[in-house]
């Protein structure tokens, strides 16, 4: 598969865009006219920059409002086209993208449009050039690729081809199956874009909200399967108009684009109907099986405070690292690592962010497969020297430069603890409070990063996206994207906000970047857990009475249950599968906090959400509440 991307998809000047495109490993680039017009150099200079970077110049675009015009506009359109052909000759590109006319003076009529394209094709042929015709979803008379194809077919000229764009086809609801009857050799170029399912004007949606494959909701796998049936063997070219990307890092956006295309073609190769018999370029997505550990970067002082906090939460020290200032704390199946070593990754992370979650360990079905996918998907891996006899646990870079380590149920990575740690079941603390496992991990990031991480998690591992939700924080809106592994074995919630005043926003600005903001543990009996936690001197986050008065009527709950919720500062939610109970600690060092949840099942599977309806109550309570006094009272 050869890949390309239109310059309009990235921020920066033309030079920055082109170098980002080359760095992400694309084969070609579509030059957007605006990027050319604003460039301080001639078309030959642009052509040289493109070829020096090893890129092919796939197309020059867009050429607007051409077909079906009356005179004198028609003659002027041909003159304009000749001028574009001059530029293309110097640029070194063969293909001009002609998008369907939106002008109110255009006349319509399939044969008139076909005659115009045929004449333009004839003129292009004289210069060894080709034109490709694309139906814009908001075209005046042509807004459907089936009509565009009929025009191209009737133009019947070897230098006139069809351009397909996933956005225009899918946004308009044109059946992708209609692509299967188009001959692949008449398709000049295929543009690929994803988009969120939003009920809005198609032009506005296209110009501001397109996104990389896998970041939106469009059925691109179906589109590609239909395309494969045509025999099309040309470039897949990203054309992504997106306000965030125009403002973001061109390198990050370009890498996201490449990652999205690689993941898309991986899905096509793995689908049952795979008309071209494509072979997957990497192993299948490994399943996340559980959270093996959470590692905290601290210094000596905050390590002492964290021990006290975790002790109050019922954790006990269960091991000491053989060569580093690292401790393992445990409860149920939860492993927490307190790293106060003065060297290595955790220490650098502490220097940059302060006390923080610096790494997460995920148990996955295939560590080698995860690392192989990471390479193909441009996710950087991480290694650091380990002591002799110690395990090297494969890792990739996660959110905010933190690490995601991978372990697996069998083989050398099955038991990481007995290798690097001296294990001692010194219960130390006040005793178990009933925490069983990590239920979910919530990470805060900038708005721009949210799409990057949604795509990275889902492309790399078997995570499924849930619907995005907006949550009100006293400081602004927070957008939340949940991901879950099969059976809820691992759940990750990504939060971001454009406001610097929300909890998510403050997390980023005060602590230098994105990261894990809270970890939720599962209890089998949340009320008993809260009582045990209180007995240890750790008070849950106080929840206002108004909340309980409201849920009483909202869910029609038993008054005894409402009283119990109120007494324990436990929040409540219910979905079609069951009930959810949740409570929070205050924040530790103003940086991260913990949640305790209980998921109950009505019948089959348990409640699946995260209590989104309760999040505003929690956020407001946190905004009011002082951080946890660092060492809990005993």
Ligand X SMILES: O=C(O)c1ccc(O)c(O)c1
Q: Which residues bind ligand X (CB under 6 A)?
A: 61-62, 97, 99, 134, 136, 165, 191, 206-207, 239
The Cα–Cα gap between 274 and 222 comes to 10
Query: How many secondary structure helices (H) and strands (E) does the chain include?
Result: 21, 26
Contact letters for Mg ion, residues 494-523 (x by CB under 5 A): ------------------------------
Contact call for residues 510 and 500 (beta carbons, < 8 A)? no
Q: State the Cα angle at 249 between 44 and 370, rounded to 5°.
A: 110
What the block records as the tokens of 552 is 């009483």
> What values do phi and psi take at 441, rounded to 5?
-125, 130
- Given the complex with Mg ion, which of 35 and 239 has the nearer CB atom? 239
Token representation of residue 399: 């959110």
> Is residue 569 annotated as involved in ligand binding?
no
191 vs 504, beta carbon nearer Mg ion: 191
Q: Judge whether 134 is annotated as a binding position.
A: yes
Helix (H, G, I), strand (E, B) or coil at 146: helix
The one of Mg ion, ligand X, none whose footprint includes residue 211, by CB under 5 to 8 A per kind, is none
Nearer of residues 191 and 523 to Mg ion, judged by Cβ = 191
Residue 133 β-bridge partners: 98, 162
Closest residue by Cα to residue 296 from 282, 313, 279: 313
The item of ligand X, Mg ion, none sharing an interface with residue 207, based on CB under 5 to 8 Å by kind, is ligand X
Half-sphere exposure (CA, 13 Å, Cβ side) for 109? 11
* Shortest Å, Cβ 167 to ligand X: 6
Residue 276 backbone dihedrals phi, psi, to 5 degrees: -95, 0
The answer to whether residue 30 forms part of the interface with Mg ion (CB under 5 A) is no
Q: Which is nearer to ligand X, 167 or 350 (CB)?
A: 167
CA 391 to chain centre: 30
Residue 35 labeled ligand binder: no
Q: Does 449 bind Mg ion (CB under 5 A)?
A: no
Backbone angles phi, psi at 538, to 5 degrees: -110, 115
* Of the candidates 543, 610, 583, 618, the residue with the CA atom closest to the CA atom of residue 313: 583
Question: At its nearest, how many Å lie between Mg ion and the CB of residue 191?
Answer: 4
Smallest separation (angstroms) from ligand X to the CB of 71: 25
**Which of ligand X, Mg ion, none has residue 308 at its interface (CB below 5 to 8 Å by kind)?**
none
Least Cβ distance, residue 2 to Mg ion (angstroms): 17
97 versus 597: smaller Cβ distance to ligand X = 97
Rounded distance, CA 193 to CA 5, Å? Answer: 10
Report, in Å, the least distance between residue 523 CB and ligand X.
51
Token couple for 408: 């697996």
- Span of 106-114, 190-198, 244-252, 400-408 interacting with Mg ion by CB under 5 A: 190-198
CB closer to Mg ion out of 191 and 402? 191
Rounded CA Rg of the chain:
28
Q: Does 239 interact with Mg ion (rule: CB under 5 A)?
A: yes
For ligand X, the closer of residues 139 and 429 by Cβ is 139
- The entry of Mg ion, ligand X, none that residue 628 binds, CB within 5 to 8 Å by partner kind: none
Closest distance of CB 224 from Mg ion, Å:
16
Question: Smaller CB distance to Mg ion: residue 31 or 395?
Answer: 31
Strands 130-134 and 56-63, sheet pairing = unpaired
- The site map against Mg ion for 114-153 (x = CB under 5 A) is ----------------------------------------
Token pair listed for 609: 């959400």
Please identify, among the stretches 191-199, 270-278, 542-550, 612-620, the one whose residues bind Mg ion according to the rule CB under 5 A.
191-199
Tell me which residues in 522-561 interact with Mg ion (CB under 5 A).
Answer: none
CA angle 199, 201, 204 (to 5 degrees): 115
Determine the interface stretch with Mg ion among 65-73, 237-245, 422-430, 452-460 (rule: CB under 5 A).
237-245
Q: Which long-range contacts (CB under 8 A, 24 or more apart) does 393-398 make?
A: 393/361, 394/367, 394/370, 395/359, 396/370, 396/371, 396/460, 398/359, 398/360
Distance, CA of 516 to CA of 158 (rounded, Å)? 56
Instruction: Please state, in angstroms and rounded to a whole number, the distance separating the CA atoms of residues 530 and 545.
Output: 18
Nearer to Mg ion, 2 or 554 (CB): 2
Judge whether 440 is annotated as a binding position. Answer: yes
Report the partner that residue 62 touches, choosing among ligand X, Mg ion, none (CB closer than 5 to 8 A by kind): ligand X
Q: How far is the CB of 203 from ligand X (least distance, A)?
A: 7
What lies within 8 Å, CB to CB, of 238 at 6+ separation is 3, 4, 5, 6, 9, 191, 192, 193, 212, 213, 257, 260, 261
**Stretch near Mg ion under the rule CB under 5 A, chosen from 21-29, 161-169, 376-384, 510-518:** 161-169
Nearest-approach distance from CB 207 to Mg ion, in angstroms: 11
Size of the site for Mg ion (CB under 5 A): 3
Residue whose CB is less far from Mg ion, 232 or 607: 232
Alpha carbon of residue 587 to chain centroid? 27
Between CA 444 and CA 479 the distance in angstroms is: 10
Q: Among all residues, whose Cβ is closest to Mg ion? A: 165
Under 8 Å between Cβ of 601 and 577: yes
Residue 121 C-beta: closest distance to ligand X, Å:
18
In three-state form (DSSP H/G/I as H, E/B as E, the rest C), the secondary structure along 552-590 is HHHHCCCHHHHHHHHHHCCEEEECCCEEEEEEECCCECC
Residue 225 touches which of Mg ion, ligand X, none (Cβ within 5-8 Å per kind): none
- The number of C-alpha atoms within 13 Å of 536 and in the hemisphere containing its C-beta is 27
582 assigned to a ligand binding site: no
Q: Tell me whether residue 191 is annotated as binding.
A: yes
Annotated binding-site residues read 134, 165, 191, 239, 440, 518, 595
Binding residues for Mg(2+): 440, 518, 595
- Binding annotation for a divalent metal cation: 134, 165, 191, 239
Residues at the contact surface with Mg ion, assessed by CB under 5 A: 165, 191, 239
């Amino acid at each position: 598969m050869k890949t390309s991307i239109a310059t309009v998809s990235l921020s920066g000047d033309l030079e920055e865009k082109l170098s980002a495109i080359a760095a992400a490993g694309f084969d070609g680039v579509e030059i957007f006219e605006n990027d050319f017009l604003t460039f301080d150099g001639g078309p030959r200079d642009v052509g040289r920059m493109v070829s020096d970077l090893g890129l092919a110049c796939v197309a020059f675009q867009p050429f607007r409002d051409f077909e079906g015009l009356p005179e004198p506009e028609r003659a002027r359109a041909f003159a304009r086209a000749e001028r574009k052909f001059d530029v293309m000759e110097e640029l070194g590109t063969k293909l001009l993208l002609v998008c369907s006319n939106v002008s109110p003076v255009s006349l319509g009529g399939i044969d008139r449009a076909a005659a115009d394209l045929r004449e333009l094709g004839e003129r292009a042929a004289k210069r060894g050039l080709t034109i490709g015709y694309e139906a814009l979803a908001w075209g005046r008379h042509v807004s459907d690729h089936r009509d565009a194809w009929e025009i191209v077919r009737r133009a019947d000229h070897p230098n006139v081809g069809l351009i397909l764009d996933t956005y225009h086809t899918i946004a308009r609801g044109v059946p992708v199956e209609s692509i299967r009857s188009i001959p692949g050799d008449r398709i000049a170029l295929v543009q690929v874009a994803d988009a969120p399912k939003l009920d809005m004007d198609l032009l506005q949606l296209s110009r501001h909200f397109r996104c990389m494959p896998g970041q939106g909701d469009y059925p691109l796998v179906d589109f590609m399967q239909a395309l494969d049936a045509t025999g099309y063997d040309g470039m897949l070219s990203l054309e992504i108009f997106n306000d965030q990307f125009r403002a973001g890092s061109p390198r990050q956006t370009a890498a996201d684009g490449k990652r999205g295309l690689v993941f898309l073609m991986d899905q096509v190769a793995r689908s049952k109907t795979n008309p071209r018999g494509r072979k997957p370029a990497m192993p299948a997505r490994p399943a996340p099986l559980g959270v093996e550990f959470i590692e905290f970067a601290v210094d000596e002082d905050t390590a002492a405070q964290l021990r006290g906090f975790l002790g109050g939460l019922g954790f006990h020290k269960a091991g000491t690292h053989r060569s580093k200032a690292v401790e393992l704390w445990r409860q149920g199946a939860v492993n927490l690592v307190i790293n106060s070593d003065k060297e290595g990754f955790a220490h650098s992370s502490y220097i940059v962010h302060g006390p923080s979650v610096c790494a997460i360990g995920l148990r996955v079905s295939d560590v080698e497969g995860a690392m192989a996918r990471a390479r193909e998907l441009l996710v950087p891996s991480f290694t650091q020297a380990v002591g002799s006899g110690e395990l090297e646990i494969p890792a990739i870079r996660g959110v905010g430069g933190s690490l995601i380590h991978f372990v697996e149920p069998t083989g050398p990575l099955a038991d990481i603890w007995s290798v690097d740690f001296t294990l001692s079941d010194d219960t130390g603390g006040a005793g178990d409070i009933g925490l069983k496992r990590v239920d979910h991990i919530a990470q805060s990031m900038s708005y721009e990063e949210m799409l990057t991480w949604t795509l990275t998690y889902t492309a790399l591992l078997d995570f499924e996206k849930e619907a995005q939700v907006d949550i009100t924080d006293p400081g602004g809106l927070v957008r939340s994207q949940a991901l879950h592994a099969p059976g809820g074995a691992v759940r990750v919630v990504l939060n971001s906000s454009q406001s610097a005043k929300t909890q998510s926003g403050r997390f980023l600005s005060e602590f230098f970047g994105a990261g894990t903001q809270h970890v939720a543990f599962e209890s089998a009996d949340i009320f008993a857990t809260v009582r045990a936690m209180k007995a240890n001197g750790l008070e849950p986050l106080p929840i206002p009475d108004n909340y309980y008065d409201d849920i009483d009527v909202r869910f029609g709950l038993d008054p005894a249950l409402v009283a119990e919720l109120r007494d324990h500062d436990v929040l409540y939610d219910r979905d079609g599968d069951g009930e959810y109970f949740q409570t929070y600690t205050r924040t530790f060092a103003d940086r991260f906090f913990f949640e305790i949840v209980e998921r109950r099942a009505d019948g089959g599977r348990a409640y699946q959400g995260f209590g989104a309806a309760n999040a505003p109550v929690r956020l407001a309570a946190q905004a009011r509440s002082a951080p946890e006094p660092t060492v809990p009272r005993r």
